[in-house]
């Protein structure tokens, strides 16, 4: 309960030096930041801040995460002015702490501003690290530490460590395996104690973010459990472990940078064989972690591995592509190009075999690339191979476990007949059994409030940005060039809660209307919460709405447009059946209307929307609601529905 200050206390507050008042506010903000760390999203947000703002201590990382977690470049007002930039009027800076002496017990508050709060041009992003030398350097560090690192098929967990022997699941993408290896390298520099494994995972998450590896799933610390072993309050223990994580992550980062520098200076890539022995330098990069005798390059693990390598290659080509930047800007989804985002967008170069040559340099065989659908055999040039994706913005499509199963590519040249092109069917890519955007959005999140199904990948990203500021948790997915299938519905149902709604959203064009008609009967079989429909009213699609209205306004518009899917279905069916208007005095028109409304009314009964549907249909046809209900009853008396069948198999006319 907030205590109201009396006159003397208010006077004292006015007399308090400004720095003391700010220090009080900063310490309160720090306490709130610590209290926030009770969920995976909040914990990962702090680790991402630590990865972005290298050199900040635990307190300041917490303050940034609490005040402005998306900050990228921070400086004081004077520093910005020295750089020739001005802080915009009315911007409120972030409070950070600066030690007043060497004890670490006395602090002053420093106001800093993010580059987005100024008129400065953001500094160019650091070029992303190439996956191969990073993984090679990690393997070299493991060898120096005396670790034997092998990939193993059929492990029950992603990693298994026993003293100086580390086994990683061969099914993991190379980037994910490298992230787990960082955790093993961090363990020797971490203090013993109950928090050690949690700290190792967090260090690996931070380092992975810094070097472009797949972030490790870092569990939330549980200081209440540690308090049994360690003395101190939970807040003190949590602060201590955050400080250890940041120090250790900086130490591992420095070691990895030195290893990369040594490799770059020698012009070679160090590799490691099972047993921890380093081989002689090789001029041609090779797979860094030897898969051992039990690995089969033709199995699914190899396909996932080559897809992960292709995704990393495509991602490295995104930033320099002006065509990709222009397209993302036109669709209002520039934020998806952020390397820290979970979308992993990339660009396939225009050359005919650029990816092919890159993957060969990593040691992947032509057979694996063909089986993954990344390259194809040319019929015009003998037995030569060429890249399947060329001059396209590439969207990775993930399997339910988070690994990349294939890709969707959007043409950037303007010359292709097909705007979008999918990976052909492979042993791991069946587009009717996958949903674009599902796995990245579910990772580390609670059960969603709603699933929103849109048509394509750009709409999925646009809707995600629009709903991000809305109440509840929305996961947006796209079938990816295919009709919504029962297998895709089952994926959503398996990840849903008892009250999770299913919302269908399709473009406002003839193709979108047909897609909704095909999806309607399947959507109405949703076994959980409500079944709704929405759409970007006045715009062709959600991306166009987002580009025109902005994220917050677009989210409000889509939420306001949500209506029961049965209601939207019957309205569209009536519009098609009576394009010239409904004539209530024509008996045949009434019979036809009753036949159209009947199956949708059954769906409304199942989902509790009867009154709403009757009122809407009555207003549309300009008759009383009871006339509609009586007419539907009469229809079922004349033509009883088949037992157990769905009479609303499609939106009929």
Check whether residue 547 and residue 632 sit in a common domain. no
Are 365 and 359 contacting, i.e. CB atoms less than 8 angstroms apart? no
Q: Which of 461, 431, 651 is nearest to 541 (CA)?
A: 461
The pLDDT, as a whole number, for residue 184 is: 82
Question: Is 189 domain-assigned?
Answer: yes
Is residue 273, in this structure, part of any structural domain at all?
Answer: no
Q: Examine the fold and report which residue of 429, 451, 466 is the final residue of a domain before the chain moves on.
A: 429
- pLDDT confidence of residue 225: 64
Residue 645 lies in a domain: no
Report whether pLDDT(638) > 80: no
Same domain, 37 and 154: no
Helices (H), 37-87: 40-52, 58-67, 77-82
Q: How many structural domains are present in the chain?
A: 5
Q: How confident is the model at residue 32 (pLDDT cuts 50, 70, 90)?
A: confident
Residues 450, 538 within the same domain: yes
Mean pLDDT of 376-389: 73
Evaluate whether residue 651 is within a structural domain. no
Range name among 51-55, 94-98, 188-192 with the lowest pLDDT average = 188-192
544 lies in the same domain as 602: no
Confidence of residue 229 (pLDDT cuts 50, 70, 90): very low
Higher local confidence (pLDDT), 382 or 45: 45
- pLDDT band of residue 640 (cuts 50, 70, 90) is low
First to last CA, the chain: 62
The pLDDT, as a whole number, for residue 297 is: 37
Average pLDDT over residues 323-349: 88
CA distance 299 to 571: 50
Asked whether residue 136 falls in the same domain as residue 261, the answer is: yes
- Please list, in sequence order, all residues whose beta carbon lies within 8 angstroms of the beta carbon of residue 144, skipping any fewer than 6 positions away: none
What is the predicted pLDDT for the residue at 156? 60
The stretch 326-335 carries a mean pLDDT of: 89
Torsion sign over Cα 61, 63, 65, 70? negative
Res 269: pLDDT: 44
Residue 111 sits in which domain range? Answer: 18-117
Model confidence at 438, pLDDT cuts 50, 70, 90, reads very high
Arithmetic mean of pLDDT, 119-145: 75
What are 317's two structure tokens? 């080509």
Q: Residue 228 above 60 pLDDT?
A: no
pLDDT at 102: 53
| pLDDT tens digit sequence for 3-18 | 333 443 333 333 334 4
d(CA 398, CA 329): 24
C-alpha–C-alpha distance, residues 44 and 526, integer Å:
32
Q: What CA–CA distance (Å, rounded) separates 596 from 617?
A: 11
Q: Assess whether 389 and 339 both reside in one domain.
A: yes
Domain end residue (candidates: 94, 117, 140):
117
For the residues 315-322, what does the mean pLDDT come to? 92
| Confidence band, pLDDT 50/70/90 cuts, at residue 125 | low
Same domain membership, residue 255 and residue 135: yes
pLDDT at 639 (0 to 100)? 63
Distances in Å between the Cα of 195 and the Cα atoms of 49, 221, 230, 282 are 21, 7, 10, 40
Q: Is the confidence at residue 295, as pLDDT, over 60? A: no
Confidence of residue 318 (pLDDT cuts 50, 70, 90): very high
Q: Does 396 have pLDDT greater than 90?
A: yes
CATH number at residue 416: 3.90.980.10
Both 476 and 416 in one domain: the answer is no
Q: Please report, rounded to a whole number, the percentage of residues in the chain having pLDDT higher than 70.
A: 80
Query: Does 649 map to a domain?
Result: no
Contact 178, 141 (CB under 8 A): no
Lowest pLDDT segment from 51-55, 512-516, 593-597:
512-516
Residue 502 belongs to a domain with what CATH number?
A: 3.40.1360.10
Alpha-helical segments (H) within 535-586 = 542-549, 551-560, 565-577
Same domain, 235 and 140: yes
Q: Give φ, ψ of 478 to 5 degrees.
A: -135, 135
* 381 and 456 belong to one structural domain: no
Averaged pLDDT, 21-30: 80
Q: Are 507 and 476 in contact (CB under 8 A)?
A: no
More confident residue, 22 or 464: 464
Q: How many CA atoms lie within 13 A of 267 on its CB side?
A: 1
Residue 357's alpha-carbon distances to 1, 114, 128, 584, in angstroms, are 66, 41, 20, 70
Average pLDDT, the chain: 79
pLDDT for the residue numbered 643: 40
395 band by pLDDT with thresholds 50, 70 and 90: very high
DSSP lists the bridge partners of residue 478 as 436
Least confident interval from 173-177, 278-282, 289-293: 278-282
| 140 has pLDDT over 60 | yes
Among 543, 561, 579, identify where a domain stops: 561
In a domain, 198, yes or no: yes
State residue 377's pLDDT score.
Answer: 80
Residue 635's pLDDT is what? 73
Reported confidence tier of residue 287, pLDDT bands at 50, 70, 90: very low
Which of 70, 67, 69 has the alpha carbon at shortest distance from 111? 67
Which residue in 325, 314, 338 sits closest to 397, CA to CA?
A: 314
Query: Angle at the Cα of 317 (from 311 to 318), degrees rounded to 5?
Result: 90
- 565 has a pLDDT exceeding 50: yes
**Predicted local confidence at residue 292, as pLDDT:** 40
Residue 78 counted as domain residue: yes
Q: pLDDT tens digits, residue range 165-190?
A: 777 766 566 667 777 888 888 888 78
Do residue 424 and residue 306 come from a single domain?
yes
Amino acid 285: pLDDT: 35
SS3 478: strand
Q: Which two tokens stand for residue 475?
A: 């996961």
Answer yes or no: is 482 within a domain. yes
Range in 55-69, 291-305, 449-463 with the lowest mean pLDDT = 291-305
- Pair 469, 527 in one domain: yes
CA distance 532 to 472: 15
The percent of residues in the chain predicted with pLDDT above 90, rounded, is: 16
Q: Which residues are CB-contacts of 634 (< 8 A; sequence separation ≥ 6)? A: 594
The per-residue pLDDT for 650 is 40
């Amino acid at each position: 309960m907030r205590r109201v200050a009396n006159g003397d206390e208010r006077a004292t507050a006015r007399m308090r030096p400004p720095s003391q008042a700010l220090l009080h506010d900063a310490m309160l903000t720090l306490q709130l930041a610590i209290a926030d760390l009770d969920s995976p999203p909040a914990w990962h947000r702090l680790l991402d801040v630590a990865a972005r703002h290298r050199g900040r201590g635990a307190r300041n990382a917490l303050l940034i995460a609490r005040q402005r977690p998306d900050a990228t470049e921070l400086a004081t007002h004077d520093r910005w002015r020295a750089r020739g930039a001005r802080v915009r009027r009315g911007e409120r800076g972030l409070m950070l702490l600066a030690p007043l002496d060497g004890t670490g017990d006395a602090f002053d508050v420093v106001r800093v501003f993010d580059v987005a709060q100024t008129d400065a041009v953001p500094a160019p992003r650091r070029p992303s690290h190439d996956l191969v030398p990073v993984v090679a350097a990690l393997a070299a560090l493991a060898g120096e530490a005396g670790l034997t690192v092998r990939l193993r098929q059929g492990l029950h967990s992603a990693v298994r460590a026993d003293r100086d022997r580390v086994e990683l699941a061969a099914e993991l993408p190379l980037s994910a395996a490298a992230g787990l290896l960082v955790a093993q390298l961090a363990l020797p520099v971490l203090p013993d104690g109950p928090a050690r494994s949690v700290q190792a995972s967090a260090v690996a998450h931070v380092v992975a973010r810094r070097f472009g590896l797949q972030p490790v799933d870092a569990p939330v610390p549980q200081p209440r459990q540690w308090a049994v072993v360690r003395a101190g309050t939970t807040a003190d223990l949590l602060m201590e472990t955050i400080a250890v994580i940041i120090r250790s992550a900086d130490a591992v980062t420095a070691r990895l940078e030195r290893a990369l520098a040594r490799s770059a200076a020698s012009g070679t890539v160090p590799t490691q064989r099972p047993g921890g022995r380093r081989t002689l330098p090789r001029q041609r990069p090779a797979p860094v972690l030897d898969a051992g005798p039990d690995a089969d390059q033709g199995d699914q693990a190899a396909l996932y591995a080559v897809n992960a390598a292709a995704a990393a290659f495509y991602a490295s080509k995104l930033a320099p592509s002006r065509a990709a930047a222009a397209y993302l800007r036109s669709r209002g989804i520039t934020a998806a190009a952020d390397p820290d985002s979970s979308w992993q967008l990339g660009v396939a170069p225009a050359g005919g075999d650029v990816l092919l040559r890159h993957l060969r340099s990593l040691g992947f065989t032509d057979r694996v690339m063909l089986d993954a659908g990344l390259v194809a055999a040319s019929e015009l040039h003998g037995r030569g191979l060429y890249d399947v994706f060329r001059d396209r913005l590439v969207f990775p499509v993930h399997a339910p476990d988070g690994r990349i199963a294939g890709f969707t590519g959007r043409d950037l040249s303007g010359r292709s007949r097909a705007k979008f092109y999918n990976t052909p069917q492979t042993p791991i890519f069946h587009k009717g059994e996958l949903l674009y955007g599902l796995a990245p959005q579910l990772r580390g999140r609670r059960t969603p409030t709603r699933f929103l199904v849109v048509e394509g990948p750009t709409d999925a990203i646009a809707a995600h940005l629009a709903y991000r500021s809305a109440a509840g948790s929305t996961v947006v997915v796209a079938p990816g060039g295919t009709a919504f299938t029962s297998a895709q519905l089952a994926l959503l149902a398996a990840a849903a809660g008892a009250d999770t709604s299913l919302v269908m959203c399709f473009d406002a064009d003839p193709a979108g209307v047909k897609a909704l008609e095909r999806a309607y009967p399947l959507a109405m079989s949703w076994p959980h919460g409500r079944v709704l429909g929405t759409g970007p009213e006045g715009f062709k699609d959600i991306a166009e709405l987002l580009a025109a209205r902005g994220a917050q306004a677009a989210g409000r518009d889509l939420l306001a447009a949500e209506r029961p899917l049965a209601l939207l279905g019957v309205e569209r069916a009536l519009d098609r059946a009576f394009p010239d208007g409904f004539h209530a005095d024509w008996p045949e028109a009434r019979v036809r209307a009753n036949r159209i409304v009947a199956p949708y009314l059954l769906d409304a009964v199942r989902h509790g929307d009867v009154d709403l549907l009757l009122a809407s249909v009555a207003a549309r046809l300009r008759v009383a609601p009871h006339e509609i209900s009586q007419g539907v009853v009469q229809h079922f008396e004349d033509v009883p529905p088949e037992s157990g069948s769905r009479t609303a198999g499609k939106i009929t006319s």
